[in-house]
Amino acid sequence: MLTILFDGVAYGMLLFVLACGLSVTLGLMNLINLAHGAFAMAGGYTTVVLVNSFGVPFFLSLPLAFLVAAVIGLVMERAVYVHVYRKPHLEQVLLTIGLVFMAVAGTDYVMGTSQVFANTPEVLHGQFQFFGVGIGRYRLLIIVVCGVLAIGLQYILTRTRFGSRLRAAVDDQRVAQGLGINVNGIFALTFAFGSGLAGLGGALGTEILGLDPTFPLKYMIYFLIVVTVGGTSSITGPFVASLLLGISDVAGKYYVPKLGAFVIYTIIIVVLIWRPQGLFSRASAK
């Protein structure tokens, strides 16, 4: 029972790291980015290639995965995304679906269709018992890393100068710009950082989520759920939403394997009927 809870929390934390970049970019620029999963995939494949082919230690490959995904994110933001901020949502959806298809087929071409895993070090294998709760070492690592990240993000967002600028820009872009805040710069940086986090999540997630070229399509719905249920105004919203999603998904698949896939959808539908704007949104501005 507690083990399932533990696994669910690990899964949820992972989803949070994967999706929080998406929620910030959505809140900041009102940009619907369905290609977010492609950055996660980039991070995942970076780790797999580095560890398996070049013998880079697993723990070193994680920050590298972050870096690679962040750089790709920065380049894509400046080259492609910047053109669609002011366009209607339909255009953004079309563009990002196009990017997803290109990423899927391109990865397929370069890496092959089969599912890949990174060789994780011995330390992370297996479980240990802690007051009768079976704790997977790998999942513990995920919880620790993601927990630290979540606290760090919350700190940056609420306590630093950059964070207050970011929040100001999310609240009202035009006024923020009028006050001399470089909104475009902040956005580029945030986009790159969010992509990097997705990359890190993808790298950590290869063990749990699996990694193959269809990754961005398979998990698109999960990211969307986290963002719609969690709202875009803070990172606590997506955090709680991710945990809810992770725990219910793991528990659902464990207790009612036949109906496992429906559990999360049922919850989503209930949430949407109850609070159409998401669990944690302020009176929706956008």
Binding site for other proteins (CB under 8 A): 26, 32, 34, 80, 83-84, 87, 89-91, 93-95, 97-106, 108-109, 217, 220-221, 224-225, 227-228, 258-259, 261-262, 265, 268-269, 272-273, 276-278, 284, 286
Q: How far is the CB of 186 from other proteins (least distance, A)?
A: 21
For the CB of residue 91, give the shortest distance to other proteins in the complex, in Å.
Answer: 5
Q: 128 or 262: whose CB is closer to other proteins?
A: 262
Q: Which is nearer to other proteins, 148 or 256 (CB)?
A: 256
Nearer to other proteins by Cβ, of 181 and 272: the residue is: 272
Total residue length of the chain = 286
Q: Is 35 helix (H, G, I), strand (E, B) or coil?
A: coil
124-131 CB contacts, 8 Å cutoff, 24+ apart: 124/58
As given in the structure block, the two tokens for residue 62 are 């994680």
Does residue 64 contact residue 230 with C-beta atoms inside 8 Å? no
Cβ closer to other proteins: 10 or 100? 100
* Shortest distance in whole angstroms from residue 95 CB to other proteins: 4
Residue 86 CB, shortest distance to other proteins, in Å, is: 12
C-beta of 53: minimal distance to other proteins in Å?
Answer: 23
Q: How far apart are CA 230 and CA 69, in angstroms?
A: 24
**CB-count exposure of residue 73 (10 Å: 0-12, 13-18, 19+):** buried
Closer residue to other proteins, CB minimum distance, 91 or 172: 91
**CA nearest 141: which of 76, 83, 205, 70?**
205
CB of 222 to other proteins, least distance (A): 10
In whole angstroms, the minimum distance from the beta carbon of 217 to other proteins comes to: 6
- Residue 155 bridge partners (DSSP): none
Q: Identify which of residues 55 and 257 has a Cβ nearer to other proteins in the complex.
A: 257
Nearer to other proteins, 185 or 276 (CB): 276
